[in-house]
Amino acid sequence: KAGVTQTPRYLIKTRGQQVTLSCSPISGHRSVSWYQQTPGQGLQFLFEYFSETQRNKGNFPGRFSGRQFSNSRSEMNVSTLELGDSALYLCASSLIKWDSGNRATQYFGPGTRLTVL
């Protein structure tokens, strides 16, 4: 079974631009979560989607948004990019809605490295 895939793997943007990142979960996984990883702040939760609905959101400004499609694929968008948005963005998928034993486990994609100049 194929793992979580993320595209693109690398992106370079300039301040003020916007960017869209894509994530395809493991087949059958319906929950998709997004994380930002930076050297200073570590790994921080952005948001989680299930059945096309955002169920949870971390402490990030409204410039960070996302969506999920009927096939469980997810996108996240960052508008009006700032230098501090440079980071590795990780997507993770898990099996079902209700956390239960192994089904709570999140499996990560390879990440998208975003550089803002």
SS3 assignment, position 55: strand
SS3 assignment, position 36: strand
**Per-residue contact track with other proteins, 34 to 73, x per CB under 8 A?**
-x------xx-x-xx-x----xx-x---------------
Q: Output 49 or 78, the one with its CB closest to other proteins.
A: 49
Stretch that binds other proteins, among 14-22, 63-71, 77-85, 92-100 (CB under 8 A): 92-100
Stretch that binds other proteins, among 13-21, 61-69, 77-85, 87-95 (CB under 8 A): 87-95
Report residue 109 as tokens.
């994609």
- Specify the pairing of strand 112-116 against strand 10-13: parallel
Give the integer Cα–Cα distance in Å for 51 and 54. Answer: 8
